[in-house]
Amino acid sequence: MEGEVLQIVAEVECGKDRVARVVVGQHGLTVVAVAKSVNEAMQDLLAQQLFIRILVKVNGKMYQIANDPRLASSRSGVAR
């Protein structure tokens, strides 16, 4: 799998913060696991290197884990 990297950006629109929290998962682990799984499956299918990014939005605005004290981690660098 050499050559160019195909970049895929998926937007998940959520109507409420509570739905976005479920999609993102605790400390962002759910959305990261989904992105990794999709990346592996798509790379196998397309035989091309990929970069998958999943954007979670609430009413058109990016959902930020750092703005939700119930999900924010004390560590920096948490996937958002």
pLDDT for residue 79? 43
Residues 11-23 have pLDDT tens digits of: 999 999 999 999 9
Assess if residue 78 is contained within a domain.
no
Give how many domains the chain has, as a whole number: 1
List the domain range (segments joined by +) for residue 13: 6-67
pLDDT for residue 64? 83
Assess if residue 56 is contained within a domain.
yes
Residues 1-46 have pLDDT tens digits of: 567 899 999 999 999 999 999 999 998 999 999 999 999 999 999 9
Average pLDDT over residues 35-60: 94
Nearest Cα residue to 71 out of 30, 15, 33, 12: 30
Assess if residue 60 is contained within a domain.
yes
Assess if residue 47 is contained within a domain.
yes
